[in-house]
Structure formats: structure tokens, C-alpha cells
Amino acid sequence: MSVASEALSGVHKSELLLFFTLLQLCVIVLAGRIGANLALRWGQSAAVGEIIIGIILGPTLFGWLWPDAFNFVFRSTPGDAMQILSQIGLILLMFQIGMEFEFSHLAEKEHRRSVTRIAVASMVVPFGLGYALGYWMTPVLTPQANPTAAALFVGTAFSITALPILGRMLIEFDIARKPLGVIAISAAAINDVVGWLLLALVTMLAVSGFDAAQFGSTLVLLLVYVAVCWWGVRPLLRWCVRHLGGAEGWSNNLLGVILVLVFISAIVTYKLGIFAIFGGFMLGVLLHDQPQFVDAWRRHIGQFVNVFFLPIFFTYTGLRTDIGGLDSLGLWGWCAIVVLAACLGKYLPSYLAARSAGMSHGESQIVGVMMNTRALMELIVINIGYDLGVISKNVFTMLVIMAIVSTVITTPVLRHYLPKLGYRQVKAHVPEEVTAD
């Protein structure tokens, strides 16, 4: 083949890849908007609709009903382009989550006893239960994986709480500043911080193959990285916001610098042996106390991340989820055990901890339900576990179902029980401007 023919062939392949990538993006973005709006109409968070639409676009429904169309759209070319877009979007989303994390919840002095008891109970008990269940089911469902590594990931998945979506639910029901809401969001904030730290540690353990020396050296390097970020990069970021952002705290030059630093941070965490998304989250945390920049990012970039990148991640998760793969009563039995153990293992200790702190039966029920909300955070955890090979495709599907169930049930339960406690819902739904979680 001549050089000219090879060049034409290369161009044709690139154009073909571009064609199918654009086709996939058209389907994903449009479906994501439909799912978000339907969810809002049915009284759910927009993210719930996007998650479910992502699952529908996978082999679970689209691939089952119209296999030829599904294969044409999603299987005509390798999935590398969609995977990379998904990961870039997730890095930006984690940066956004880090920026918008409300650390003031952690310093809340009022109701400290209730918050502490609920936070500890809703982390320790679900983690222990998830670890035990993961260790028990791994030889059956993921025989090729290290049982300890799998158990650690299942335990982490059981203990996580989706802070952002819970915060939006509290706003929806107008209880964000009431004692019940403050206690719930503060406990969830502690869950979130501990959960991300736990996920980083579990990831390092799995990557190191439980080699003590390798894990120790990685941990030391991670601590050095965090120290450099906090005492070195953080002042640099403040200087950039102050001198490049102008009066409005925003400029194209500032955006360029911030994006480069986010990507460098992601590269560093990847090289340290933990996933690149942690680098995005860390950079976001460094900017959480720059409200002008955070607000400008939300207005200029945040909605694009939510509308474009977030549905890509949900669809990428959906393409990995095959509910039809649970093709026996035994597998559905395991799925039921996972869902029940995760939901009850989060609800009951949260309820009992709230009761022990002097909260009423009704308030304790509400706290237990709210702490059970998982959403996007859960999907991030289980995608990492799947990428590391410590959970099988069937276990991945079970945990996705658990994430959906635990999130979907929260809003209707709150809508049913809050009025009985004298709380009045004042909003029809959470504004679409805050759909990322």
C-alpha cells in the first residue's frame, strides 16, 4: 500500500471513529435530558433519571430490545473514545464536587453528639457488614479476585453516602437549616470525607497486592502529595484567583491555568497508584474557600459538565451493567441479599444512633432513610472496583441496582413522612441548575 493510500485509510478510520462518537454523544445527551426531566416531573433528582437512562442505554434494555441498533451505535467502533471522555468528565466532576463541598458542616457544634453517633454508626456497621458479605460471596461470584480486596470494596460501597444529592433533597423539603437537616447533612459530610479517604486507601491496598512495603511507600508519597497541595499549591491557586480572575474572579487565563493544574494533579495521583479522579477532587478541595471562583465555575462550566460529561459517565456505567446477566434464581437471590443488606445495614444503625442521641422515632426514621442515599458516589466506587478486577460483572450489576434502589426510595419516603413531623415541602423540585451529585 502506498503512503497516500495509508494516509487515506488513516483519515477514513478517524472519520469513522468521529462519526460513531458523535452519534453516541447525540443519543447520550438527548437521552440524559429526557431522563433528567422525567425524574424531576416524578419528584426525583435529575441525577436519578440520568442514572436510570444510562442503564437503559446499555445491554439491559436497548441492547436487549434492539440488538442490531445497539451494536450499530455502541459497538461499531472500540469504546476507547467514550471511556476517555467518561474519565475526563469524571475528573472535572470530582473537581466540581471538591469545590462545592461544604466543610462548615464538619465544624457544626450544635447537635454534635447526634452527628457523631450517626456518622460513626452509619460508616462502621455498613462497612463491617459489606466486608463480611463481600468476603463470603467473592469465591462464588468473583472467584478470580482476592477475597480481601473484594470485601474492602464492597464494604466501602455499603458505607458511602451521596452528600450532594442529599443536600439538594434537604433544600427541596426546606429542612436544610432545621435541626433535622443539619444533623443529617453533617453526618453525611463526615461519611463523605471518610468515604473518599477509605476509597483511596482501599485502592492503594488493591493496587499494591497487599504488599506492606509497596503500600507503605505509596501512602507516604500520597501524604507528601497532600502536603504539597495544601501548603504549596493552595497559596498558588489563591494567587491565581486573585491576580488572574479580576473583579469577577473569572477569566480565560485563570480557567486555563486551573484546568492544567487539575489535569496535572490527576496525572500525579495516577502515578501514585490511585485513580486520577482523586487528583481532580483534591484540586477542588483546595479551592472550596474561594466562593467567587466557585460561583463563576458553576455558571460558566458547571452546567456543561452536568449536561455533557455526567450522562457519558452514567451511560458508560450502563454499558457495563447487564441485568439480563443475572439469569438464575441464585444470582437474583444474591442481588436481593446485597440490596437488603446495604439498605438495612445503613438504615438501622443510623436509626438506632439517632434514637440513642435523644431524637424521636419519626426523626430517627428520616435520618436512617437519608443516610441510605448513595447515587453517583456509589457508582464511582464500584466502577473503580470493576476496573481493578476485584468485583465481577454480575456483582457490579448488583451494586448498581443497589445504588439505584437506595437513592430512588429516599424522596418518596421523605415526602410521605416529613409532613407527619410538621415539615412542609415548599418546592416542587430541585432546580435543574444543581443536577450534579
Q: What residue segments make up the domains of the chain, in order of their start?
A: 20-434
The sign of the CA dihedral 111, 115, 118, 124 is negative
312-333: average pLDDT: 91
pLDDT at residue 79, rounded to an integer:
80
Among 163-177, 206-220, 353-367, name the one with the lowest average pLDDT. 163-177
84-104: average pLDDT: 84
pLDDT at residue 11, rounded to an integer:
61
pLDDT at residue 339, rounded to an integer:
96
Which one has a higher pLDDT value, 261 or 416? 261
64-78: average pLDDT: 90
27-54: average pLDDT: 88
Cα end-to-end span (Å), the chain: 51
By the 10 Å C-beta count (0-12 exposed, 13-18 middle, 19+ buried), 318 is classed as: buried
- Given a cut of 90, whether residue 334 has pLDDT beyond it is yes
Confirm if 210 and 146 have CB atoms less than 8 A apart.
Answer: yes
d(CA 215, CA 211) in angstroms, rounded, equals: 6
pLDDT at residue 193, rounded to an integer:
81
d(CA 20, CA 378) in angstroms, rounded, equals: 29
CA angle, residues 141, 313, 386, in degrees to nearest 5: 20
pLDDT at residue 433, rounded to an integer:
43
406-423: average pLDDT: 84
pTM: 0.85
Closest CA to 114 of 198, 194, 185, 192: 185
Q: Which three cell numbers stand for residue 150?
A: 473484594
Give the whole-number percent of the chain exceeding pLDDT 90.
Answer: 41
- Given a cut of 50, whether residue 435 has pLDDT beyond it is no
Which one has a higher pLDDT value, 418 or 263? 263
Q: Which three cell numbers stand for residue 301?
A: 462550566
Secondary structure (DSSP) of 87-119: HHHHHHHHHHHHHH--GGGGG--TTHHHHHHHH
Confirm if 390 and 153 have CB atoms less than 8 A apart.
Answer: yes
- Given a cut of 70, whether residue 402 has pLDDT beyond it is yes
For residue 76, give the amino acid letter.
Answer: S
pLDDT at residue 57, rounded to an integer:
92
- Given a cut of 80, whether residue 7 has pLDDT beyond it is no
d(CA 408, CA 343) in angstroms, rounded, equals: 12
CATH 3.40.30.10 assigned to domain 20-434? The reply is no
Question: What confidence category does residue 426 fall into, taking pLDDT thresholds of 50, 70 and 90?
Answer: very low
Confirm if 149 and 388 have CB atoms less than 8 A apart.
Answer: yes
Among 106-110, 221-225, 282-286, 311-315, name the one with the lowest average pLDDT. 106-110
pLDDT at residue 3, rounded to an integer:
47
Supply the mean pLDDT for the chain: 86
pLDDT at residue 109, rounded to an integer:
64
d(CA 422, CA 195) in angstroms, rounded, equals: 33
Closest CA to 362 of 280, 297, 418, 292: 418
Q: How far is CA 250 from the centre of its chain?
A: 27
220-241, pLDDT tens digit by residue?
998 999 999 999 999 999 999 9
Question: What confidence category does residue 8 fall into, taking pLDDT thresholds of 50, 70 and 90?
Answer: very low
